[in-house]
Amino acid sequence: MVFIPLPSKPIVANTACRELGVSPFSMADRVAKMVKEKPVVIFSKSTCCMSHTIKTLISDFGANATVYEIDEIPKGKEVEQGLASRGCNPAVPVVFIGGEFVGGANEVMSLHLNRSLVPMLKSAGALWL
């Protein structure tokens, strides 16, 4: 058993976690922060044809989506697990608009066919038309 001496003054969780090399936030919390920072966020894989289709569709409307290629970013596997813990299945593409989970390719295409995607992009501030 190893005993770690307690500090003489209290330390906040972030400081303690930093000192121990551990994150105070789960990957699901990090994913939540990532999607709230931009109007449109797409989690994708560079080799996925459906991801390419969704990125192209949103780009063709003039929206500048933030794209995270989870097969190319550091800790991509953990991000993928964080998405799965939020109920995202399949893993890619996963689209968030205005910080809200929209869904995958099927849901985005359905919104497009129902003419609901552009108004959603506008209300999120991704389009100024």
Report d(CA 15, CA 23) in Å as an integer: 10
Residue numbers of the chain with a pLDDT score lower than 70: 1-25, 129
Domain 26-123 has CATH 3.40.30.10: yes
> Does residue 2 contact residue 53 with C-beta atoms inside 8 Å?
no
What residues does 103 pair with on adjacent strands?
A: 95
pLDDT tens track for 102-116: 999 999 999 999 999
End-to-end CA distance of the chain: give it in Å, rounded: 64
pLDDT of residue 25: 58
